[in-house]
């Protein structure tokens, strides 16, 4: 039975009190016990985002003519990002509402480019197996074929494998800086050189690392080139709402030049409602997200981003060393950012995840190979020692035969044992149905 709208009005305080109460069962991200989804710095930072977002909550970035304020902020955000990623004056882009939208736009741009400039009716893209599912989604939505290249033993995509997958229909080669699963930057220089030598586009998905890697490099870390300084890179996505520390709903997608960006835009001149122009996927574009992104870039500046990167690197170093020192645990590859995965050769790593969950830690589960995932933010600085102590204890108890509390290990075990991926997708659809029915 659908719910009806309340018959009567309520006071603002009353509604807000109920709203806040709904949080009680949510992931406790402020305490640093959650490892993705939220990039929390501190309350002062959050207040800045709230105020900036609130100032422009009503404005709509769809109309650049109505809101020159937003147009200016967006242009500055895109320009600051282009500068950070070694772009020259030709580099152009737009803001979007997030990594997925940026990626969708890069794939749509590649499709249009291939159709119009190369006469390819059904363009293909080549992406590493570790690439974010937003590329699968883009391929699905835009009817583009996606071919997957396997990573090498170091978790970076194997460039020879990418080369092998090129066909006359290939439009775009993708690499990530870094991919989400293991945090190891793909060989962007080699991928971009390959793309360039074959007359193809090359997109770098720096959604996760874009606003982190340049600062890690300034701090002396060995970060391979990944942006427009690499010849052959033709587009790049980077999320402000991740390590850009902006409010949710903010990312940038950049192109080597304006001609490429034109393929992203959508126009429709026959609508009775007027001449319609839309730079990206969504219609209405939330002004608050643009304003908060602009505000945080000015608030932190290079100094602030460097401070956060320094803290994250120190925490990550401590965690990687600590995990490597725990018997039976193994970090996958050599991660470049504050993102990494670890597995175990002696205990079931999913059971380890459940045991940690029993102690309040929400570590994401991964597959192929089974692993637990960490994404470090400034909020994790305070909890690194406790996390390591808990990991050590949980791993040693499991190794001694003590059972883990019931959690998702059984489900991952079951799913891993089903060879038919369509059947697994069916389970996932049922799961989604259930989630959205229950609310």
Ligand X SMILES: Cc1ncc(COP(=O)(O)O)c(C=O)c1O
Positions touching ligand X (CB under 6 A) are: 98-100, 132, 134, 176, 179-180, 205, 207-208, 239
Q: What is the phi-psi region of residue 241: left when phi exceeds 0, alpha when psi lies from -120 to 50, beta otherwise?
A: alpha
Q: How far is the CB of 100 from ligand X (least distance, A)?
A: 3
Q: How far is the CB of 96 from ligand X (least distance, A)?
A: 9
Q: Are 127 and 136 in contact (CB under 8 A)?
A: no
Q: What residue has token string 């029915």?
A: 437
Question: Is the Cβ of residue 344 or residue 366 nearer to ligand X in the bound state?
Answer: 366
Q: Is 137 exposed, middle or buried (0-12, 13-18, 19+ CB in 10 A)?
A: middle
User: In whole angstroms, what is the distance from residue 186 CA to residue 192 CA?
Assistant: 11
Q: What separation in angstroms does the CA of 232 have from each of 77, 99, 126, 259, 291?
A: 24, 22, 15, 15, 32
Q: How far is the CB of 75 from ligand X (least distance, A)?
A: 22
Q: How far is the CB of 181 from ligand X (least distance, A)?
A: 9
User: In whole angstroms, what is the distance from residue 399 CA to residue 328 CA?
Assistant: 9
Residue from 302, 280, 275 nearest 290 by CA:
280
Question: Is the Cβ of residue 99 or residue 338 nearer to ligand X in the bound state?
Answer: 99
Q: What separation in angstroms does the CA of 258 have from each of 78, 87, 237, 238, 277?
A: 13, 12, 16, 18, 16
Question: Is the Cβ of residue 208 or residue 394 nearer to ligand X in the bound state?
Answer: 208
Q: How far is the CB of 89 from ligand X (least distance, A)?
A: 27
Question: Is the Cβ of residue 98 or residue 370 nearer to ligand X in the bound state?
Answer: 98
Q: Which two tokens stand for residue 394?
A: 């949980």
Task: Spell out where 17-155 has E strands.
Answer: 92-96, 124-128, 145-149
Report DSSP state, residue 57. Answer: S
User: In whole angstroms, what is the distance from residue 222 CA to residue 207 CA?
Assistant: 19
Q: How far is the CB of 18 from ligand X (least distance, A)?
A: 28
Question: Is the Cβ of residue 87 or residue 98 nearer to ligand X in the bound state?
Answer: 98
Question: Is the Cβ of residue 246 or residue 297 nearer to ligand X in the bound state?
Answer: 246
What proportions of the chain, in percent to the nearest 5, are helix, strand and coil? 45, 15, 40
Question: Is the Cβ of residue 36 or residue 344 nearer to ligand X in the bound state?
Answer: 36
Q: How far is the CB of 50 from ligand X (least distance, A)?
A: 20
Q: How far is the CB of 178 from ligand X (least distance, A)?
A: 7
Q: How far is the CB of 242 from ligand X (least distance, A)?
A: 7
Q: What is the phi-psi region of residue 86: left when phi exceeds 0, alpha when psi lies from -120 to 50, beta otherwise?
A: left
Instruction: Report the residue closest to ligand X, judged by CB.
Output: 99
Question: Is the Cβ of residue 250 or residue 329 nearer to ligand X in the bound state?
Answer: 250
Question: Is the Cβ of residue 99 or residue 286 nearer to ligand X in the bound state?
Answer: 99
User: In whole angstroms, what is the distance from residue 362 CA to residue 31 CA?
Assistant: 11
User: In whole angstroms, what is the distance from residue 402 CA to residue 396 CA?
Assistant: 9
Strands 371-375 and 339-344, sheet pairing: antiparallel
What CA dihedral angle connects 165, 166, 172 and 174, to 10 degrees?
30
Q: How far is the CB of 236 from ligand X (least distance, A)?
A: 11
Question: Is the Cβ of residue 127 or residue 331 nearer to ligand X in the bound state?
Answer: 127
């Amino acid at each position: 039975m659908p719910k009806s709208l309340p018959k009567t009005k309520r006071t603002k305080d009353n509604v807000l009190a109920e709203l806040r109460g709904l949080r009680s069962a949510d992931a406790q991200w402020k305490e640093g016990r959650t490892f993705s989804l939220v990039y929390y710095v501190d309350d002062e930072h959050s207040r800045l985002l709230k105020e900036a977002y609130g100032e422009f909550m009503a404005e709509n970035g769809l109309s650049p003519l109505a809101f020159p304020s937003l147009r200016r902020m967006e242009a500055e955000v895109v320009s600051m990002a282009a500068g950070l990623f070694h772009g020259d004056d030709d580099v152009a882009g737009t803001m979007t509402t997030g990594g997925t939208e940026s990626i969708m736009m890069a794939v749509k741009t590649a499709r249009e480019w291939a159709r119009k400039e190369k006469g390819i009716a059904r363009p293909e893209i080549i992406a590493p197996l570790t690439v974010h599912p937003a590329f699968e989604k883009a391929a699905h939505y835009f009817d583009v074929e996606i071919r997957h290249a396997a990573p090498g033993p170091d978790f970076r995509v194997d460039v020879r494998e990418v080369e092998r997958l090129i066909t006359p229909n290939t439009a775009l080669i993708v690499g990530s800086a870094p991919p989400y699963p293991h945090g190891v930057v793909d060989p962007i220089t080699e991928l971009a050189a390959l793309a360039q030598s074959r007359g193809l586009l090359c997109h770098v998905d720096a959604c996760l690392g874009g606003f982190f890697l340049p600062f890690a490099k300034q701090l002396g870390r060995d970060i391979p080139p990944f942006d427009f300084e690499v010849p052959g890179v033709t587009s790049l996505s980077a999320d402000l709402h991740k390590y850009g520390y902006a409010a949710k709903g903010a990312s940038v997608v950049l192109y080597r030049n304006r001609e490429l960006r034109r393929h992203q835009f959508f126009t429709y001149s026959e609508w009775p409602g007027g001449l319609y122009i839309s730079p990206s996927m969504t219609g209405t574009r939330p002004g608050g997200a643009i304003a908060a992104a602009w505000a945080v870039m000015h608030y932190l500046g290079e100094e602030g981003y460097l401070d956060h990167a320094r803290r994250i690197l120190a925490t990550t170093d401590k965690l990687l060393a600590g995990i490597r020192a725990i018997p039976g645990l193994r970090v996958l590859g050599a991660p470049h950012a504050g993102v990494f995965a670890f597995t175990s050769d002696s205990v079931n790593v999913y059971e380890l995840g459940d045991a940690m969950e029993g102690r309040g830690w929400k570590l994401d589960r991964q597959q192929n190979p089974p692993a637990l995932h960490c994404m470090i933010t400034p909020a994790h600085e305070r909890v690194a020692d406790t996390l390591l102590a808990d990991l050590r204890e949980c791993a040693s108890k499991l190794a001694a035969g003590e059972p883990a509390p019931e959690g998702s290990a059984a489900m991952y075990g079951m799913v891993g044992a089903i060879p038919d991926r369509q059947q697994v997708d069916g389970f996932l659809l049922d799961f989604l149905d259930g989630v959205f029915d229950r609310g």
